[in-house]
């Protein structure tokens, strides 16, 4: 609840929070360069936001006094898990992929029905790490083995921001932001990294090639299409590199598992094991920690020993990976509780994009229209949960929307590291600490831009979403709240949505002109693999 | 948990429960004539079911000793609320129609993700009242004003069954099982009835006609298409009858509200008020009660005073009806708690079918494929909850499937009235008391028949569903657990599903030959309105 605040105190608080002016009104910006629609929103909600920020600061200060350090932050990003796939969403055991521990986490904290990501995996990883839409970073789409692109070292990752604020940083899992060492996590702000270069598919290829060459494979497009390792090299010129590495900041990385399905399974287990060991080691450190755990759950690989006999039919590989992931997440949460640092640790679980039906029936699923790669809700709307005992009230399900870029800015805010976010570029991520700590209605988004590669393909404003299509009808407008399945476009093509969308896009583009995108490097076929910026 | 039972005791229990023989194995049938697939299932699970029945009987006997009567039963049936529309399913406030009290009820009891109804409203009302698929009763589809059909007096309603077991019976809401007095609820087993003859649409017609004649109406097909009362009479020969009645068993009914949108709103409020008064009056009676409350929530009519400002956009009429319904349901549950009879009262909330997109945007919604009228999941899979403090453990979400006909048989079982179910006809409803009282995995269905009018259009066996189509590809097979959206039919058209489906349909049809359907009376245009059997 927002009470009235006498003006002089309000001014003093505003001043204390490094206020700058925009137009005629003072705004809390921490020097972060937000996009135009956010600035407009901030202007509109100026008084409430100042008051909310004060409430949040009080909570964070009290916590810091208790634990003698800033909160730890753990981000768990998962793979291709669609909106509707967890048990609390009617998926889970109801769809043959039980998720009991993730559901428990969801009810112990805040579960999001309106969390958004970029439409595919590399882009979402860029967004989380940089707080920016990938289009701004010059890296636009999913990376495949042999591509020389990677996350520009000029981008400032969340690990780099938090390091400056005194955090210890580590990542496990699917990096997928470039094969070359220059793009590697240990060179992008992470003290320690244990990571895979590719998405799940290439890890299964060699095995699949061995198993199915010349035979009819089971119903998976990926298994079916892969020509075998040798043929792949012949056609693409690319030899699959050792896919898994361990790296220390400033050191030389070393390969750790072979590129195979079994290698992937071992890597995932070893990641969970290391992660918990690391948490134990750092629990009593005087420095807080940041962990980015980009789990491979659920991709196409299955883990036979985790097959869940009660619910799973034989063709369902990812249910086994999901159950294993469940156990890993629960172990992590139990470890935090056991070490008595749970109340000083924010854990957010997020999926990277919608399901990939290309692998059906060994694939994810969504109740919504579209899939991985689409800007329809099925591609970008994902399950997510936040868990922080004592700080996030249990069993909340806010209507507010959040975007994966928000994880960047929110982490910086909680870490007291907002000043380390560079101000020479636009950051799309919004600080959602108010939503986490004050609950429903305190989200700070009423807009979203959905890019696919270099193209702005959809814009969200309030309950409405405009699709921009180069072919077919020039626009489709949906009321996403009333029609999340995007079935009834025509009825909402009303004139009252035109002006808000025009303004949003115009101001967004003006901002891009002021802060241009990093130049995209598209690899010409057969090009040598050399780093770019 | 099912423990081992020494054989002599098992036999004694079986004998005590009026066991008859089928083939070589004794079976508990209570003389109910189930369909063939159920008999096969019962044979297969004979031992476990006997043991479970014993457990249930112990619970019910203990309860009866405490309350000195059988449990009260309240069935709440609602209108066109799609799978996904309640808050616990990601609908509710997230879709602009907050359902806080229904969600609370869901988490206080058992929430069903796999509850099924008939594909439209009259058929589901027949199914609940008779425990039979409508096709068996000779009444096949939705009734419109002026049609002479109705629920045959030869059908034995759940109210008639429970009356024989000493229950007091009452109904409020949308009867929709025939206009003539002979078909009316007070003549079909209900001691008291306060009911509407039509679905929600005709009640809105006169108002709509007044408001929009000659003008462009808002985006609702129903408002748009209705030609006005006079024109309707001219074209159809039908004068809208007084739509709402009050009836007492053995008495002459009297009209109670006018056919108008305001009449509908008043009727709904008055129903909730009466219902609670009735519960208060009967709470200390030595007889248990049965209430069938067929609420009009949510149909197209809106209730302006209940508009929920925080979430609702102006076009969203049913959200106001939904909020009002929320309040009604909560008042009812609170009344039961206050009177200390909640532990002796089973409350089940069920939707009658999927959403009716024809009224979009003033319409319901579903995450699934299809809508009201379809046998795709969107048409027949509906939200449902069961609430019974002390008897149904809170916060359960079983994977088991249930069908609306099961409400019939379950009520009879709980009421100790199984022997009053006639044995000269097939009853499709299955006793789901084991699921309610023993929890997940105790459901007694692995099959379902989905009829549309006279046609068997889909068959469910285990996780699989076969669509039978007169045109197009002859069959589609979906794995409903993996693919509830019915998107990936082809992959599952595997040979291993052929035999089970052939057997199911063959045995189902053999049973129909033995127990033929009641003859359907299709009204010839312009026929006089006379009762039929």
Residue with tokens 């700058």: A20
Q: Which residues, other chains included, contact A199 with Cβ-Cβ below 8 Å and sequence gap of 6+?
A: A79, A121, A142, A174, A176, A299
Q: What is the percent of chain A where pLDDT is above 70? A: 77
Instruction: Report CB contact under 8 Å: A94, B84.
Output: no
Beta carbons of A367 and B365 less than 8 Å apart: no
Q: Among A20-24, A436-440, B173-177, B416-420, name the one with the lowest average pLDDT.
A: A20-24
Residue of A nearest to B365 (CA): A483
Tokens coding B479: 């794995």
Interface test with B, best of A82, A95, A110 (most B CBs within 10 A): A95
Supply the pLDDT for residue A493: 54
pLDDT at A321: 80
Cα gap B275→B190, rounded to integer Å: 14
User: In the structure encoding, which two tokens stand for residue A112, read together?
Assistant: 């999001």
Which residues 6+ apart lie within 8 Å of B9 measured at CB? none
Q: B178-200, pLDDT tens digit by residue?
A: 988 999 999 999 999 999 988 77
DSSP state letters, B231-262: HHHHHH--PPPP-EEEEETTS--EE-S-SSHH
Closest alpha carbon within chain B to A357: B488
pLDDT single digits (tens) A263-282: 888 899 999 999 999 999 99
At residue B31 the predicted structure's pLDDT band, cuts being 50, 70 and 90, is confident
Per CB-CB distance under 8 Å, the chain A contacts of B114 are: 94
Q: Report pLDDT digits (tens) over A35-55.
A: 999 999 999 999 999 999 999
Q: What is the mean pLDDT of chain B?
A: 84
Task: Answer whether A481 sits within 8 Å of B89, measured CB to CB.
Answer: no
Among A383-387, A415-419, A458-462, B265-269, where is mean pLDDT lowest? B265-269
Distance, CA of A368 to CA of B366 (rounded, Å) = 10
Give the model's confidence band at B130: pLDDT under 50 very low, under 70 low, under 90 confident, else very high: very high
Contacts of B59 (CB under 8 A, 6+ apart): B391, B437
Residue B84 touches partner A, C-beta closer than 8 Å:
yes
Q: Counting runs of H as helices and runs of E as strands, what totals does chain A give?
A: 16, 16
Q: Per-residue confidence at A499, pLDDT binned at 50, 70, 90?
A: confident
Percent above pLDDT 90 for chain A: 63
A494 and B CB contact within 8 Å: no
A148 compared with A8, residue with greater pLDDT: A148
Task: Write the CA distances from A499 to A461, A492, A504, A505, A506, integer angstroms.
Answer: 11, 14, 8, 10, 10
What pLDDT shows up at residue A141?
77
Can you tell me whether residue B387 is helix, strand or coil? strand
Looking at A177-231, which runs of residues are DSSP E strands?
192-196
Dist. CA A407–CA A436, nearest whole Å = 11
- The pLDDT-based confidence of A231 (bands split at 50, 70, 90) is low
Instruction: Tell me the pLDDT of chain A averaged across its residues.
Output: 84
Residue of B90, B113, B316 with shortest CB distance to A113: B90
**A94/B87 touch (CB, cutoff 8 Å), yes or no:** no
Q: Once rounded to an integer, what is the mean pLDDT over residues B490-494? A: 55
pLDDT digits (tens, 9 = 90+) for A444-455: 999 999 999 889
Q: Read out DSSP for A459-513?
A: EEETTEEEEE-SSSSSEEEEETTT-TT---TGGG--GGGHHHHHHHHHHHHHHHH
For chain A, the first-to-last Cα distance in angstroms comes to: 47
Evaluate if residue B253 carries a pLDDT over 80: yes
Q: State whether residue B270 sits within 8 Å of chain A by CB.
A: no
Per-residue confidence (pLDDT) for residue A188, from 0 to 100:
97
Q: Do A397 and B367 touch (CB under 8 A)?
A: no
**Predicted confidence band at A203 (pLDDT cuts at 50, 70, 90)?**
low
Give how far Cα B323 sits from Cα of A399, B303, B339, B382, Å.
17, 9, 24, 19
pLDDT above 50: residue A313:
no
Per-residue pLDDT tens over the stretch A93-118: 998 888 999 999 999 999 999 999 99
- Nearest-CA distance A447 → chain B (Å): 16
Residues of B in contact with A113 (CB under 8 A): 90, 94
Per-residue pLDDT reduced to its tens digit, A343-381 = 999 999 999 999 988 777 667 899 999 999 999 999 999
Please choose, from the candidates B174, B256, B243, B255, the residue with its C-alpha nearest in 3D space to the C-alpha of residue B205: B243
Q: Could you read off the pLDDT of A379-424 as tens digits, one per residue? A: 999 999 999 999 999 999 999 999 999 999 999 999 999 999 999 9
Chain A partners of B113 at a C-beta cutoff of 8 Å? 90, 94
Residue A464: partners with Cβ closer than 8 Å, 6 or more residues away? A477, A478, A479, A480, A492, A497, A500, A501
On whether the CB atoms of residues B22 and B29 are closer than 8 A, the answer is yes
Q: What pLDDT score was predicted for residue A16? A: 38
A94, A367, A492 ranked by CB distance to B114: nearest: A94
Distance CA A369, CA A483 (A): 11
Q: Place B145 in a pLDDT band, splitting at 50, 70 and 90.
A: confident
Contact with chain B for residue A397, Cβ under 8 A:
yes
Q: What distance in Å separates residue B414's CA from the closest CA in chain A?
A: 27
Mind listing the pLDDT tens digit for each residue in A124-179?
999 999 999 999 999 887 787 777 789 999 999 999 999 999 999 999 999 999 98
Q: What average pLDDT score do residues A73-85 get?
A: 96
| CB pairs A-B closer than 8 Å | 90
**Chain B contact present for A422, CB below 8 A:** no
Q: Search chain A and give the residue with CA nearest B364.
A: A482
Reduced DSSP (H G I as helix, E B as strand, rest coil) percent helix, strand, coil of chain A, to 5: 40, 15, 45
In this prediction, residue A146 carries a pLDDT of 74
- Across the interface, whether the CB atoms of B90 and A90 are under 8 A apart is answered yes
Nearest Cα neighbor of B317 from B329, B330, B306 is B306
Region A318-340: mean pLDDT is 91
Alpha-carbon distance A208 to nearest alpha carbon in chain B (angstroms) = 20
Positive/negative CA dihedral, A108, A97, B466, B402: negative
Chain B residues inside the 8 Å CB shell of A359: none
Q: Per-residue pLDDT tens for B379-405?
A: 999 999 999 999 999 999 999 999 999
**Cβ atoms within 10 Å, residue B227:** 14
User: Distances in Å between the alpha carbon of A68 and those of A60, A161, A387?
Assistant: 11, 20, 21
Give the pLDDT of residue B149.
85
Q: What dihedral angle (degrees, nearest 10) is formed by the CA atoms of B160, B164, B169, B171?
A: -10
Q: Is the pLDDT of residue A222 over 50?
A: no
Residue with tokens 């009914």: B253
Residues 357-376 of A with CB under 8 A from B: 357, 360-361, 365, 367-368
Helix (H) or strand (E) holding A30: none
The lowest-confidence range among A473-477, B160-164, B171-175, B220-224 is B220-224
């Amino acid at each position: 609840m927002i009470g009235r605040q006498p003006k002089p105190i309000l001014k003093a608080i505003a001043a204390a929070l490094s206020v700058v002016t925009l137009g005629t009104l003072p705004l809390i910006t921490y020097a972060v360069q937000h996009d135009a629609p956010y600035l407009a929103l901030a202007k509109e909600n100026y008084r409430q936001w100042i008051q909310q920020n004060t409430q949040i600061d009080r909570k964070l200060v009290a916590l810091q006094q208790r634990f003698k350090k800033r909160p730890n932050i753990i981000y768990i990003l998962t793979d291709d898990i669609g909106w509707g796939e967890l048990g609390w969403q009617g998926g889970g055991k109801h769809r043959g992929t039980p998720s009991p521990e993730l559901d428990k986490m969801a009810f112990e904290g805040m579960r999001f029905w309106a969390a958004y990501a970029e439409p595919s995996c590399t882009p979402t990883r860029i967004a989380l790490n940089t707080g920016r839409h990938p289009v701004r970073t010059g890296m636009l789409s999913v990376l495949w083995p042999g591509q020389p692109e990677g996350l520009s070292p000029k981008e400032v990752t969340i690990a780099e921001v938090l390091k400056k604020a005194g955090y210890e940083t580590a990542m496990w899992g699917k990096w997928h932001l470039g094969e070359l060492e220059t793009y590697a996590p240990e060179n992008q702000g992470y003290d320690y990294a244990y990571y895979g270069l590719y998405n799940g598919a290439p890890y299964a290829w060699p095995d699949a090639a061995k198993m199915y060459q010349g035979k009819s494979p089971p119903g998976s497009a990926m298994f079916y299409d892969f020509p075998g390792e040798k043929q792949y090299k012949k056609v693409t010129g690319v030899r699959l590199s050792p896919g898994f590495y361990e790296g220390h900041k400033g050191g030389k990385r070393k390969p750790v598992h072979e590129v195979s399905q079994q290698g992937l399974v071992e890597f995932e287990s070893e990641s969970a094991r290391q992660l918990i060991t690391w948490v134990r080691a750092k629990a009593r450190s005087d420095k807080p920690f940041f962990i980015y755990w980009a789990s491979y759950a659920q991709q196409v690989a299955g883990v036979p020993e985790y097959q869940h006999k009660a619910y799973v039919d034989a063709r369902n590989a990812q249910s086994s990976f999901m159950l294993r992931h469940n156990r890993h997440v629960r172990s992590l949460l139990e470890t935090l509780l056991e070490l008595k640092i749970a109340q000083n640790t924010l854990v957010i679980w997020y999926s990277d994009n919608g399901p990939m039906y290309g692998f059906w029936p060994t694939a994810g699923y969504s109740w919504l229209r579209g899939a991985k790669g689409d800007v329809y809700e099925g591609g970008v709307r994902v399950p997510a949960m936040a868990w922080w005992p004592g700080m996030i009230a249990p069993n909340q399900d806010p209507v507010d929307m959040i975007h994966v870029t928000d994880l960047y800015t929110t982490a910086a805010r909680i870490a007291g590291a907002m000043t380390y976010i560079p101000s020479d570029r636009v950051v799309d991520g919004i600080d959602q600490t108010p939503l986490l700590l004050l609950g429903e209605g305190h989200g700070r988004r009423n807009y979203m831009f959905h890019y696919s590669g270099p193209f702005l393909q959809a814009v969200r404003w309030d309950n409405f979403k405009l699709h921009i299509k180069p072919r077919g009808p020039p626009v489709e407008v949906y009321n996403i709240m009333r029609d999340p399945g995007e079935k009834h476009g025509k009825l909402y093509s009303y004139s009252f949505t035109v002006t808000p969308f025009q303004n949003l896009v115009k101001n967004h583009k003006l901002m891009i002109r002021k802060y241009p995108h990093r130049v995209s490097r598209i690899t010409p076929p057969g090009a040598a693999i050399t780093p770019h910026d």
